[in-house]
Structure 1
Amino acid sequence: MHNESAASYAKANFENLKSYKQIRLFPNEKIETVFVKEKWGFFDKLTIISSLKKDSIRQDFLVANKRNKNTPALYLRDNDEDFKISGGTRINGDIFIPKKGLKTITIDNNSFEKPIHNGSVFNSQKVFPKHSELTIGYPENYELLDINEINEHSVINGFNEITKVIEVNTKLENLKLKGNIMVTSQDTLIISSSVILEDVILEAPKIIFQNGFEGSAQVFASKGVIVEPQVVLKYPSIITVGSNHIMEKSIIFEGESVFSGLVFMQGGGLSLEKQNTILIKEKAELTGEVYCDGTLSLYGIVNGSVFASALVHKTTTTAYKNLIYNGHILVDKVPGSFFQDSFFQPLDSEEILFVKKI
């Protein structure tokens, strides 16, 4: 009962908890409760410790804002052109698009499907709303390991232990990693299908999830991420590519890949719009939120929301700007209890969600 009360208190007072707070929830009880608030990648990590004499109970949670039901299906920057849908495109939910409006076009005479939008239409702004950069932030104390020093097939590190940082040359394989672990590489990091990950943070210039991988992770890359076919990145996963303004950057979801969480392409404004790209191929299915400060090509399914500075559909001969061809954005398919980035939070949404107990 006390643990439930402590969790309810944390939700109601989360913004005021800061990094450390010790209180007695009930004046007539002798139980002391400590709240410790830290970052774990994208998420806040909340630790609740309730103590009575020499006995204590500890709980750790990943915390984020709860998704607001009024979040739109699509936000597309106003670039003085109309927004076009074609083929089997389906959009369920409100959309923010350029002032020139929504247009249905036919570009494939062999297509017998008609594009559909169900929802209200609003005007977007000419400047794509910016987001503060998502960074990892290393803990003050951690244990640094080389992958070659690990002889076990499984490394499980609780969040009550010091963070383990594992350095990998190129490929991670035949290993289970769970909990308070960060994996880093100075080169392209390849995640084999033989790897099992849960709650782990990955950091490298480029990260590739090979065909058949299944697990959950927070991914921080500076150049790009490739999610191959038959990959399943479970809730609550994060993919973010940094805002390096020099190089081209990309996130690619191959067909039959599955993802649940947040996809975040950080850009550098309109001048770099074309070099920051996300490609969601046919039969790829994402649940959650896609933020692209760059150019998005959507042919698969997003069960959630899409925020993009630009959209493009490319054929062998032509590039169609502001067009979604055969892609689906279904904001009504997001599970009821799902986290949300703070980029587009309606004014009435400040509810805290305990995303996962870790």
Structure 2
Amino acid sequence: MQFAILISVLIAVLLSAFLLLTHVHSFFRIKSQEAIVAFDQANRQLFESLEQDKISKDTVVSIVDIKTSKQFINYHGVWQKRYTEVDIHNQKAVKIAYTGTERSDNTPNLYIEDRNSPIVVVGATRLEGKSYIPKQGIKAGNISGKYYQGNALYYGRVLESKTSLPEMNPEWIRYLENIIQGDLIGQGEMIALEKELKNTFYNPLQVIYDRGPVFLDDEKITGNIVIQSGTKIIVGSGAKLTDVVLIAPEIIIKTGVRGSFQSIATKNIKIGRKCYLSYPSSAILIDKKIIKEDGQNNQLLYAKPDFVIDKGAVVEGVIVYLNKNKSTNNRIKTHVEIASNATVIGEVYCQGNVDFQGTVLGSLYAQQCIARQSGSVYLNHIYNGKILLNPVIDYAGLPFVNSKYSIAKWLY
């Protein structure tokens, strides 16, 4: 009798265990399916948001049946940071990405404002792709006895440019002006500079601020962090910066720096020799200086450029010079200098003059190209500069007006 009872109890326990195991398997299968659905819908929601460029500082929340969706779009340096979140029965999936303007069939490789002057190509200059140039066209020239070496004046198509550059999104310009005035200092969590810092983009922004100079040389800083100085930031070759945003009047990136970060300045930027800033990096100079030309001297001829990319440097991403004093007519002032053997893989956008002797694989937009050679300034001359096709098929870049967006980088 006792043996029969024992057998009955064992059978009951086994049946209970089997039922519990079946229930657990079913529960985890349902939860796994909900997690997969949440991930898929968060991913889809982010891609659908690429159709819009309206910035929303506040999180937009949508609740439909058992699904809660959240999303916001704001700027983070050059890029738009898009956040989407889907929650189904507490199974939450989050996707965050940098996005930028995608290339189209009409994207220029070279765009020079029409100022009633032809483009003159000299030396080893090579122009590939679509060139938007003044109606006076392209011609070959020489500087100090050095003539154009190409077999053709251009290798692609030539179209007529307008009297102004393609327009940037004004909302982005306002964002830049606000953050250089310290708008992020009140929004982010203030932290101290340490040897090693990491903050994921799932967490709130962290801000390091100093009224004096900030020197970065042996720090390793990664993620959703802004470093801002009231005077200057100097980045040494020992610094390891990833996805960080630097803001200061003056930013100096010394020889040999390697990383992937953004720089926003108001006075000058220098990217030193043999630096390698990988995609998606950016450097932006918002120039508010007022400089008047003096017809009695050559001070502008010998003035140092505001923005220098030195020899052997490589920047994968965006170079921007914005002139906030467009009323000044600095015809011979060099605003951006791209030295020989310097390379930009992406875009250069300059509301001023570019002295261009390096290589751009992508797009160069400028009011005017100038060449400073042999003690003279040659207007609308390109000397040894090369505009080549962008090798990055899915490149995403500057926020132009009325543009479509694509993914620049998935964040963590």
2:365 paired with 1:307: yes
Whether contact under 8 Å (1:302, 1:329) holds in the other structure is yes
1-side partners of 2:254 and 2:186: how far apart? 32
Q: Specify the alignment match of 2:200 in structure 1.
A: 158
Q: 1:10 aligns with which of 27, 36, 46?
A: 46
2-side partners of 1:51 and 1:17: how far apart? 23
Change in 2 beyond 3 A, CA 1:82/1:36? closer
1-side partners of 2:102 and 2:167: how far apart? 20
* Deviation larger for 90-99 or 161-170: 161-170
Whether contact under 8 Å (1:239, 1:264) holds in the other structure is yes
What SS is found at the alignment partner of 1:333?
coil
Q: 1:48 aligns with which of 59, 63, 84?
A: 84
Larger Rg: 2
Q: Specify the alignment match of 2:409 in structure 1.
A: 356
- Cα deviation for residue 158 of structure 1 reads 1.4
Q: Specify the alignment match of 1:250 in structure 2.
A: 306
Instruction: State the one-letter code of the partner of 1:258.
Output: V
2-side partners of 1:181 and 1:24: how far apart? 31
Whether contact under 8 Å (2:45, 2:84) holds in the other structure is no
Encode CA deviations 1:114-150: one digit per residue, 9 max, x unaligned: 3641122222223445543260452763222343xx3
2:375 paired with 1:339: no
1-side partners of 2:91 and 2:287: how far apart? 46
- Cα deviation for residue 39 of structure 1 reads 2.4
What SS is found at the alignment partner of 2:191?
strand
What SS is found at the alignment partner of 1:81?
coil
> Is there any run of 5+ residues in structure 1 with no aligned partner, and where?
none
Whether contact under 8 Å (1:86, 1:115) holds in the other structure is no
Q: Specify the alignment match of 1:138 in structure 2.
A: 184
> Is there any run of 5+ residues in structure 2 with no aligned partner, and where?
1-35, 292-302
Q: Specify the alignment match of 1:323 in structure 2.
A: 381
Provide the aligned length of Structure 1 versus Structure 2: 346
What SS is found at the alignment partner of 1:7?
helix
Encode CA deviations 1:145-166: one digit per residue, 9 max, x unaligned: 343xx3xx31001122232211
TM-score by length of 1: 0.88
- Cα deviation for residue 230 of structure 1 reads 1.2
Q: Specify the alignment match of 2:155 in structure 1.
A: 118
Whether contact under 8 Å (2:140, 2:147) holds in the other structure is no
Change in 2 beyond 3 A, CA 1:115/1:295? farther
- Cα deviation for residue 245 of structure 1 reads 3.7
1-side partners of 2:321 and 2:225: how far apart? 24
Instruction: State the one-letter code of the partner of 1:325.
Output: Y
Q: Specify the alignment match of 2:255 in structure 1.
A: 211
- Cα deviation for residue 199 of structure 1 reads 1.0
Whether contact under 8 Å (1:187, 1:204) holds in the other structure is yes
Instruction: State the one-letter code of the partner of 1:80.
Output: N
What SS is found at the alignment partner of 2:241?
strand
Whether contact under 8 Å (2:235, 2:254) holds in the other structure is yes
- 5 Å-filtered alignment, 1:255-294, equals 255-267=311-323, 268-269=325-326, 271-274=328-331, 275=333, 277-294=335-352
Please provide the CA RMSD for this pair: 2.4
TM-score by length of 2: 0.77
2-side partners of 1:328 and 1:110: how far apart? 16
- Cα deviation for residue 90 of structure 1 reads 0.6
What SS is found at the alignment partner of 1:174?
coil
- Cα deviation for residue 223 of structure 1 reads 0.6
Change in 2 beyond 3 A, CA 1:112/1:49? closer
- Cα deviation for residue 269 of structure 1 reads 2.0
Instruction: State the one-letter code of the partner of 2:189.
Output: E
- Cα deviation for residue 111 of structure 1 reads 6.1
Q: 2:60 aligns with which of 21, 25, 28?
A: 21
Q: Percent identity?
A: 24
More helix by share: 2
- 5 Å-filtered alignment, 1:87-236, equals 87-109=123-145, 113-114=149-150, 116=152, 117-131=154-168, 132=170, 133=173, 135=176, 136=179, 137-138=183-184, 141-147=187-193, 150=194, 153-168=195-210, 169-236=213-280
2-side partners of 1:115 and 1:90: how far apart? 10
